[in-house]
Amino acid sequence: MIDLKLVRELPVSAASGLVRVDGGFYAVSDDEVRLLRFTQAEQEFYPLLDLELPREPKARKKAKPDFEALCLKDGLIYVFPSGSKENRMVGVCFDPRTSEARTIDLSRLYLKLMQTIPDLNIEGADYHNGQFLLLSRGNGPGRQNALIRVSADLTEVRELKLVDLEFGFTDLCVYQGELYFLAVKEDTQSTYDDGPFQGAILGRLDLHGKVAAMETLEISEKPEGLWIEGGEVFLVTDADDASIPSKFYRGFLDVRKY
């Protein structure tokens, strides 16, 4: 079992994606339109969209773009929305060198995916071998987790594999050519409404989209952002409560178990 250590709390309450660039971590929240950069000594926000979200919780949830995943491609940070509603299909490409952000219309791609996965809910992303890898979380009525391979220009679905897993995907990280994932179990059959948290795992998928290994995580809130580097595992959490700050954890990966 991975021994996770709490490093710090974050100034957001619903962290959902994590990457590391030049020694600093970037986290996105599904309840924000800003990107957070943090180190041990500092933290800073960068705007992703020219949009102000309502403060009232139900109105905010309805209006938010629902950013759920981050990944790196050619030094740029790609921010993926869930696609679970019509207003949740606009992604962002952020340049950490210039702090410039440009939007990406993902509606055509997501609508293609919905022909196979009606309850589409993109939660994880990475870029590997010239293509994007996306994970759709199976927490809708159909319970369809999926591994999706998409062309580098985000227009062509190259492969879609349904993954048999009791838990629902929450993030993806490619490490040493292997596909590692986070997944959680919660009491809900909705891609929109959250449910009580019932447990989490860290696992690995083989090249055919089969679960090759997994282990339980001892953690009290949903882990939704994953980064693995140099044998270390980094996680960020979402407690589904705006009053509870997201937490940043660190542990070590025993590759012999995977």
d(CA 236, CA 29): 10
Q: What residues contact 200, with CB distance under 8 A and at least 6 apart? A: 167, 170, 182, 183, 184, 185, 216, 217, 219, 222, 223
Q: Residue 16 has what pLDDT?
A: 96
φ, ψ of residue 139 in degrees (nearest 5): -115, 20
Q: What is the DSSP string of 121-141?
A: -EEEEEEETTEEEEEE---ST
What are the angstrom distances between the C-alpha of 187 and each of 65, 76, 250? 23, 35, 27
Q: Residue 188 has what pLDDT?
A: 58
Q: Residue 193 has what pLDDT?
A: 54
Contact indicator for 31, 60 with CB cutoff of 8 Å: yes
Query: Strands of 145-151's sheet, edge to edge?
Result: 122-128, 131-136, 145-151, 157-163
Which tokens hold the place of 214?
């997994």
Scanning the structure block, which residue is given the tokens 């952020």? 94
d(CA 43, CA 11): 9
CA geometry: angle 193, 11, 88, nearest 5 deg = 35
Q: Residue 191 has what pLDDT?
A: 47
pTM of the model: 0.94
Contact indicator for 208, 230 with CB cutoff of 8 Å: no
Give the CA dihedral 200, 78, 125, 46, nearest 10 degrees. 0
φ, ψ of residue 46 in degrees (nearest 5): -130, 130
Q: What is the pLDDT along the chain (258 residues), one digit of tens a residue?
A: 788 999 999 999 999 999 999 999 999 999 999 999 999 889 999 999 999 999 898 999 999 999 999 999 999 999 999 999 999 999 999 999 999 999 999 999 999 999 999 999 999 999 999 999 999 998 756 678 999 999 999 999 999 999 989 899 999 999 999 999 999 987 655 544 556 788 999 999 988 889 999 999 999 999 999 999 999 999 999 988 889 999 999 999 987 777
Number of domains in the chain: 1
Contact indicator for 28, 10 with CB cutoff of 8 Å: no
Q: Which domain holds residue 229?
A: 5-257
Q: What residues contact 63, with CB distance under 8 A and at least 6 apart? A: 51, 53, 54, 87
Q: What is the CATH number of the domain that holds 73?
A: 2.120.10.100
